[in-house]
Amino acid sequence: MTVRNRLESGYKERCLLWRRVMEAALDQRGMSLTDLAQATGIDYPSIHRYLRSRDPIVPVPPYVVAPLAEAVARPPAEMLQALGLIESDLSELASRLLDARTSNERLRASIGDLASLRGSALVVQAATAKGWAAAAWPAREGAGDILIHVADRLTLEHAREDRDEAALLADLGDVLRDVGAVPIRDNVERRMWAGVASAAVGAHARHRWSIPTFGTPHLPLATAWPHLDPAPILLVSPTINSWVNDVAAVVAEALGYGLMGTRDLVQMAMPLRASPADRLEQRCRMLPRLLSARSERSWVLHHFGAPPPDLAAETDAAIERATLAGTLVFLREDDAMIQFACRSPHATYTESQLRDCQDRWASIAAASPRSITVAVKYGDHPLDEAADTRRERFWGRSFKLARRILVNLNAAHGGPPPEEWMFPTGSPLHHLKESRWAR
């Protein structure tokens, strides 16, 4: 729903209805606006504007509705429905937010200065206004002569020692969510800061975030390849270690297709610091809705994560339905990758769950002539290998997997030949057209 449609269709009345529901929930729990701000990490002035502003009424941003509802023990979907933002569930809201955000970004990028639109610039501007010191720099990764700007890294620091992560989210949580920022986990930080003095990494009150710039959701191009049949394309993998999201991004760029994943929907609909287990559950719940919302042509969709036992049947059924409406690409991970995933401190599944998932999804793919199965080999992974070498090897594997998928799409489903892939000449990915990536 656009801002104009909100004004024309009684959005003000729905805001007032939402406020009444929230005020009743606060009274029932004996909570004040200060209590609500502390429970959600949203600053008090914003809470006051959302619930008490009069003339004009300040619309409540959709992305804060869920944490506000959870703080007063009310279902987020109920609050979103009161605002008229969804008919049934959060996935439709996330889909609308994505369309609005990507459409707006493309329009603005076509008429203005791209540098002024960078998410990192918005965070730095907001941080300095709140008294935070902020540093941002581009992260470039790749393999060989293919080097991609994959993300903007952020370091946020406050002079006061008591400004912990809760204070950071209270001050900057809204803008971090708006630009799609994600917190950098400890293992990623160690990889990023390899070779840097430990004192610099461990400095007090430093918070590290990343804003992805490659593989983010986007709409199809008007010139998207028209002859692929069937479409859309769904890439699935039991774990993130196949880099399925990045492989999907390369395939989408080659075809000019739109890109969307269950991770993107969860990122927009859940708290920034939700647990890995909660995120896995929500990704699996989002998959059937993602497939139904994006059933038209010209989309590459992606999902990773073996489902919990209680969601296995629902997730498998959604993947099986995808083989009827489009092309399923199953990235089958080898034993070493499965074992490595289970050793991770962030593992949300057991080795037996992963193996069962592999077998089920392999059976679904084998039963459909429209499916493509690609083996993903983990290979040697010595712990003393330099971080840059590991990243280059993984990116090289991702590029080769994407090229293998594209070649299969060309041979079996009318996809474009390499000379017609839509990477512009100036793009680093243009080098994927070279024959050496076929090996």
Residue 396 counted as domain residue: yes
Measured between its terminal Cα atoms, the distance across the chain in Å is 47
At a CB cut-off of 8 Å and minimum separation 6, what does 108 contact?
117
pTM equals 0.68
Same domain, yes or no: 44 and 126: no
Give the domain-ending residue among 72, 88, 104. 88
Residue 220 counted as domain residue: no
pLDDT in tens, 366-415: 999 889 999 998 764 444 455 667 778 888 888 889 999 998 998 888 88
pLDDT in tens, 72-126: 887 766 676 677 655 445 555 555 555 555 454 444 444 333 433 467 888 888 8
| Confidence band, pLDDT 50/70/90 cuts, at residue 356 | very high
Q: Does residue 156 sit in helix, strand or coil?
A: strand
| Confidence band, pLDDT 50/70/90 cuts, at residue 272 | low
Residue 391 counted as domain residue: yes
Residue 244 counted as domain residue: yes
Same domain, yes or no: 181 and 246: no
Residue 221 counted as domain residue: no
Residue 101 counted as domain residue: no
At a CB cut-off of 8 Å and minimum separation 6, what does 362 contact?
330, 332, 373
Q: How many domains are contained in the chain?
A: 3
Same domain, yes or no: 193 and 311: no
Mean pLDDT, rounded, for 282-299: 79
Question: For residues 334 and 216, what is the distance between their CA atoms, to the nearest angstrom?
Answer: 27
Of the candidates 160, 171, 154, the residue with the CA atom closest to the CA atom of residue 204: 160
Same domain, yes or no: 255 and 337: yes
Give the domain-ending residue among 153, 183, 212. 212
Which range marks the domain in which residue 203 is found? 114-212
CATH number reported for the structural domain that contains residue 243 in this entry = 3.40.50.300
Same domain, yes or no: 308 and 165: no
Mean pLDDT, rounded, for 127-156: 85
Same domain, yes or no: 202 and 267: no
Same domain, yes or no: 270 and 404: yes
Bridge partners of residue 206, in order along the sequence: 157
Of the candidates 165, 177, 172, 153, the residue with the CA atom closest to the CA atom of residue 271: 177
| Farthest-apart Cα atoms in the chain, separation | 67
pLDDT in tens, 185-223: 654 443 333 333 333 334 446 788 888 888 888 778 777
Same domain, yes or no: 384 and 262: yes
Residue 187 counted as domain residue: yes
Give the domain-ending residue among 71, 88, 105. 88
